[in-house]
Chains A and B, each alone.
Chain A
């Protein structure tokens, strides 16, 4: 006797919760053959603004956590993804039309990428910062700090590895992020959100929107409470306009990337969303 499956409702991930779009809209997600997979929430301007607000609210706690703690939380994401490996492979395979082997390779690489970035949390400051031998009685130190709220347009594919590759480096230093997931393959991103929700990532640190990047990204690019914009997956959008909008509040912007090594793992990606703070401490007379 065959059992009737219980399909999942795919929703947004904002402030640690899974709301539907406030607009009530959904869009149909299909497999490569056009077969129906799910109805995903189609995020609106209001959802984007709610996500920015949630990110801003969560920023102080995440940025203020110890580097060791952030590293452990990011590693925990890898642990929980490993446990759901089969589910991710299934979703990636169905959505992107990959064979099981290619889907497994993508999922494994995604998990390993979290592990790689997790290890950076308590090291990147040592590599990107330094003491400065200034002329005078001062202890002078430069250290990187998270930029703040980072809005990200994730690559359209690979759907899971793409979103992990842009999300993880921004989180390492303590930024809070709002990510617009792959439009055509959003399912793995929402399953990733379920992993994040149970990985001790504080609610609001990661917010994931599904829907049309062309519709949502302009609101994020022009939002005054967003500090930086990663256009890694925005190559097919009118991204120059996004960069122009970002200039109004002088957001830090990373341009679109294409090809095999788009958003490849790098220390640069971590440092791109940090600010260097230099403190001059006066030495007393002895």
Chain B
């Protein structure tokens, strides 16, 4: 037994009491959906965890109507102080039930328990706590005095950080005075439904938050519902485009948090050990299922060979396996579909001439798994340097001068995040100025905080989540009258997905 072999240390599932079947959470109650129910599985071993309802059109109508009623009769009339108190309650309940939520998240999503326990769920609590305090201070949010809520927010979230994305969406929406209909991703609905139980415990007024489950079609119906005032979406750029088209000509305010292909730039004077850790965290955190993942490593040419050697050595110590094991670094890929995409793009990378390398690691027999992979000798035109893979796959490119690093980093239609590794503070500032990305990490990576705005440039979407800026997505200035923005009467066109 080498020092790398650890005895299994599984987190107990005893804390989690899943129901066999979950309904939709509408108007404060769980009800059966009208669509065909589906099973949610653990991607680590394909074990069936529960049966989830599918919301059909009349369910969406019902949820939006409940949200509208709650907005008009309760939530918009409630004082900011009381709205804040509900959010504080929710924050505390999340903290109290954090281990249970972490276990559910790792089971349903496949992410390592150390991440769900130490990153996702603590941030969920922090997010509600942060925005709770804003609810009675909206005059200071930067939109002038007495900004108004938008109304009913339709929120569609992805499967990579299921509960955290829920918190990013619901906390600012409620603090600003909106009510919500949220659709979690098809493969990761569980924690949203447990969260609905938390809302019942918090005694949140019925209809303020409604959770509808289902696949893409359910999300589409929700976003296109005419009674929705605000659309917030996190997910792929392709779906983001579809949403941007479908809301054209409507009064709906939109924020989109979409894909990325972030450059992690390592200069030759960087603290190499820290940079290695940052690069590993940047692309292998959450199996690379991160929109802001540092999927392109740009390393200065003169340190390339040494850096890649040390990176490979480090990768050999990563443990892939049971997401519930406390020692696991790399969990399961979330779905068979996503695994297929990662495989396809990696094969294309090889076919296009890049050199592929993975550490030796045992892949479990059941479930969806992909070994951490790095590609060297990648050209800027290669698909693996351009397309978002959304998996544990790193493309390594080189540069000689800061100007070249900046040009390569910006050579993408995306603009979500970037990393800079150097010991020189003045260079960090100069390079950060030139990078066209919404979040830049200097000598760190993949840091998130409720106080810190997050969101992209260019085709990574628009709007910000987090911080004071995150509130602006759910508020309108009091002075902006409805007549000032003239809309064609119901002229919005039906747009079909391309």
Please list the residues of chain A having a beta carbon within 8 angstroms of any beta carbon in chain B. 127-128, 130, 132-136, 138, 140, 142, 147, 227, 235, 239-241, 243-244, 246-250, 252-253, 255-259, 261-262, 268, 275-282
The closest CB in chain B to the CB of A60 belongs to B434
Using A142-B469, A277-B437 as known contacts, say yes or no to A240 and B241 having CB atoms under 8 A apart.
Answer: no
Using A132-B453, A134-B447, A136-B449 as known contacts, say yes or no to A250 and B486 having CB atoms under 8 A apart.
Answer: no
Partner of B484, one of A132, A243, A249, A257: A257
Count of B interface residues, CB-CB < 8 Å: 52
The closest CB in chain B to the CB of A135 belongs to B449
Contact B442 A276 (CB under 8 A): no
Partner of B487, one of A147, A247, A255, A278: A255
Please list the residues of chain B having a beta carbon within 8 angstroms of any beta carbon in chain A. 126, 142, 237, 240-241, 244-245, 248-249, 256, 258, 413, 415, 425, 428, 432, 437-444, 447, 449, 451-455, 457-459, 461-462, 464, 467-469, 477, 480, 483-488, 491-493, 495
Contact B469 A282 (CB under 8 A): no
27 examples of A-B residue contacts, CB within 8 angstroms: A132-B453, A136-B449, A140-B451, A140-B452, A142-B452, A142-B467, A240-B248, A240-B249, A244-B245, A244-B495, A246-B248, A247-B244, A250-B241, A250-B458, A252-B462, A257-B484, A257-B486, A258-B483, A259-B483, A259-B486, A277-B457, A279-B440, A279-B442, A280-B440, A280-B442, A281-B428, A282-B442
The closest CB in chain A to the CB of B256 belongs to A250
Complex Cα spacing A109 to B216, Å: 51
Partner of A275, one of B237, B438, B451, B493: B438
**Besides the known contacts A247-B248, A268-B480, A281-B428, 19 further A-B residue pairs in the complex with CB atoms under 8 A apart:** A130-B468, A132-B453, A132-B467, A134-B451, A135-B126, A227-B458, A247-B241, A250-B237, A250-B258, A258-B486, A259-B486, A268-B477, A275-B438, A276-B464, A277-B440, A278-B439, A278-B453, A278-B454, A281-B425
Complex Cα spacing A258 to B462, Å: 25
A37 CB, min distance to chain B CBs, angstroms: 29
Complex Cα spacing A35 to B407, Å: 53
Contacts of B428 in A (CB 8 A): 281
Contact B461 A250 (CB under 8 A): yes
Contact A138 B453 (CB under 8 A): no
The closest CB in chain B to the CB of A129 belongs to B469
Contacts of B440 in A (CB 8 A): 277-280
What secondary structure prevails in chain A residues at the interface with B? mixed
Contacts of B451 in A (CB 8 A): 132-135, 140
Complex Cα spacing A147 to B455, Å: 13
Contacts of A127 in B (CB 8 A): 142
Contact B458 A276 (CB under 8 A): no
Contact A257 B142 (CB under 8 A): no
Contact A280 B491 (CB under 8 A): no
Contact A239 B477 (CB under 8 A): no
The closest CB in chain A to the CB of B477 belongs to A268
Contacts of A280 in B (CB 8 A): 439-442, 444, 447, 452
The closest CB in chain B to the CB of A242 belongs to B248
Using A227-B458, A250-B240, A257-B485 as known contacts, say yes or no to A132 and B449 having CB atoms under 8 A apart.
Answer: yes
B476 CB, min distance to chain A CBs, angstroms: 10
Using A132-B467, A250-B256 as known contacts, say yes or no to A279 and B453 having CB atoms under 8 A apart.
Answer: no
Contact B484 A262 (CB under 8 A): yes
Contact B452 A134 (CB under 8 A): yes
Contacts of B459 in A (CB 8 A): 249-250
Contacts of A135 in B (CB 8 A): 126, 449, 451
Contacts of B453 in A (CB 8 A): 132, 142, 276, 278
B453 CB, min distance to chain A CBs, angstroms: 5
A125 CB, min distance to chain B CBs, angstroms: 13
Complex Cα spacing A268 to B476, Å: 11
Contact A249 B486 (CB under 8 A): no
Contacts of A235 in B (CB 8 A): 486
Partner of B241, one of A132, A248, A281: A248
Complex Cα spacing A138 to B442, Å: 9
B481 CB, min distance to chain A CBs, angstroms: 8
Partner of A243, one of B241, B248, B432, B483: B248
Contacts of A259 in B (CB 8 A): 483-484, 486
Contacts of A275 in B (CB 8 A): 415, 438, 457
Contact B248 A281 (CB under 8 A): no
Contacts of B469 in A (CB 8 A): 142, 276
Contacts of B464 in A (CB 8 A): 276
Using A135-B126, A247-B244 as known contacts, say yes or no to A278 and B142 having CB atoms under 8 A apart.
Answer: no
Complex Cα spacing A257 to B481, Å: 11
The closest CB in chain A to the CB of B484 belongs to A257
A242 CB, min distance to chain B CBs, angstroms: 8
Contact B439 A128 (CB under 8 A): no
B239 CB, min distance to chain A CBs, angstroms: 11
Complex Cα spacing A275 to B425, Å: 23
Contact A136 B248 (CB under 8 A): no
Complex Cα spacing A261 to B440, Å: 38
Complex Cα spacing A127 to B140, Å: 11
Partner of A250, one of B126, B437, B462: B462
Contact B447 A138 (CB under 8 A): yes
Most buried by B among A136, A235, A246, A278: A278
Contact B452 A278 (CB under 8 A): yes
